[in-house]
Amino acid sequence: MLTIDKQYAERDTLYKFSRSIGLPTRLADIHAKAEDLAKVTAKALVGIDVRVYSYTVTEQMIVDGIMELEAYDEKMR
C-alpha cells in the first residue's frame, strides 16, 4: 500500500527492515509468481488494510503496486 500511495521513503525504510529480519519482500518469497497475481490480489482485497482507506482500492491498483515493488526489489538485490 505504501507503493500504491507513492510513499516511497516510508516504503524503502520498511523494505530494508523487512529484508534485514527475513520477512518476504517479493512474490518469490511467498512462493508466488506474476501469474498468481489474481489470487494474491483477491486475498489483499479482503484484508483489513484496504478497507480502512478513504478511497476504493482496486485490483489494478494492487497489481500495479506489486509489479512496481517487484521491480524495486530486483534493483535492490
| Strands annotated E in 1-77 | none
Provide the whole-model pTM.
0.82
pLDDT digits (tens, 9 = 90+) for 7-27: 999 999 999 999 999 999 999
Helices 37-45 and 59-76: crossing angle in degrees, nearest 10, is 120
**Per-residue pLDDT at 49 exceeds 80:** no
What is the reported pLDDT for 14?
97
